[in-house]
Amino acid sequence: MRASRTALIYSPLFGNFSYGDDHPFKLQRNRLAYELMDAYGLLDLPGMVIRNCLPISEELLLSFHDPAYLSRLKEFSGSDEPRADFRFGLGDGDCPVFKGLYECAALGAGATFEAVRMVEEGFDAAFNLAGGWHHAHRARASGFSYINDAVLAINWLLACGRRVAYLDIDAHHGDGVQEAFYDTDQVLTISIHESGVYFFPGTGFEDETGEGSGTGYSVNVPLLAHTDDAIYMKAFDEVACPLIAAYKPDIIIAQIGADTFRSDPLSQLEITTHCYSDIIRKIMALKIPLVALGGGGYDLMNTARAWTLAWGIMNNVELNPRLPAAFVAKIAPQGYPHRILLDAAHWAEESERDLALAALEKSIDRLKKSVFPVIIGNHGNTTG
């Protein structure tokens, strides 16, 4: 049996950029995750490589983004002066303007393109910690996202004749990616997220199923607050897994944000590393080439733990559930209380989880009547 080949895409240059001291999106989480991976010995494994990246090319940017929008991004990026252009979503609290903004976003997209290129060339999995800016629209920044790296990468794969499944397990709906491929059957988009009834970006409902030839290829599973490990796994097992298996994509692009976790300051879901690691294992068990994108995660240590677990699973390495002593000694003076990598399964308070479970069961029933007949009917039967 051939050993797995994996690639970690990482650039220290992300440490040169900042959304601002008070902004929840902290690029230093990439370094924290990298250091934890290193402490576990995950950066020198047989069959893996670490790759740097270059900014995404103008040609690829124009496969999705509006030229006027890109021009304004570049203009604002070159100055320390506070600027705003709300037509393009630039300069508000979510999407601040800062020096080097364009370079930062283009580098993140370039890292995703490098990951996709390596998988296309034969690697089994590639992971871009700095990827997953799923809220960026064609001509508008949104939700901390300026350039939609997943869309650009998928466009390149489509030009290569590939069929793609995009799976999004971030707490927020992957609205920018859904929008880009809403009318095609060459991309199956699946997003499992906190409900847009009360949560950003206010989209991602079960009746958003695509249009034209894309009807049935947009799949959304909105979750209520207090969805816990078991409920989230039910959503993945009964919707995402069987649909991806039936669709039989050439490649999976997965946005594996860690903002679904219990202590994340921006969401009200109650996921732990227990559920998260199970999902990554099940994705890998599909034996379909995988590009993983970091996505959200605003509790920095939770994000570092989640991504380290994911990278270990991609390399078939079982990790000690206790954090390495040297890493604990490094983070303790910074105020981090964490000592454990893998959490026990968590159950939400009974009355809250009953509501969340009932809502999920209703969503699954609707999806089995709408999108399941399309995907399974057009691409063959599956089980699970």
* Closest by CA position to 129, among listed 315, 342, 331, 297: 297
Q: Give the C-alpha separation, 189 to 304, whole Å.
A: 26
Could you give the residue numbers annotated as active site?
Answer: 135
Residue 254 tokens, joined: 């997965």
Q: Give the C-alpha separation, 263 to 267, whole Å.
A: 8
Q: Domain map of the chain by residue range?
A: 6-379
Residue 343 tokens, joined: 């959490």
User: Considering just the CA atoms, what is the radius of gyration of the chain in Å?
Assistant: 20
User: Distance of CA 292 to CAs 42, 132, 169, 175, 190, Å?
Assistant: 16, 8, 11, 18, 14
Q: What is the pLDDT along the chain (384 residues), one digit of tens a residue?
A: 456 899 999 999 998 999 999 999 999 999 999 999 999 999 999 999 999 999 999 999 999 999 999 999 999 999 888 899 999 999 999 999 999 999 999 999 999 999 999 999 999 999 999 999 999 999 999 999 999 999 999 999 999 999 999 999 999 999 999 999 999 999 999 999 999 999 999 999 999 999 999 999 999 999 999 999 999 999 999 999 999 999 999 999 999 999 999 999 999 999 999 999 999 999 999 999 999 999 999 999 999 999 999 999 999 999 999 999 999 999 999 999 999 999 999 999 999 999 999 999 999 999 999 999 999 999 965 444
Which residues are within 8 A (CB) of 156 and not within 5 positions of it... i.e. 6 or more apart? 60, 63, 113, 116
CATH fold for the domain made of 6-379? Arginase; Chain A (3.40.800)
Phi, psi values for residue 255, rounded to 5°: -90, 110
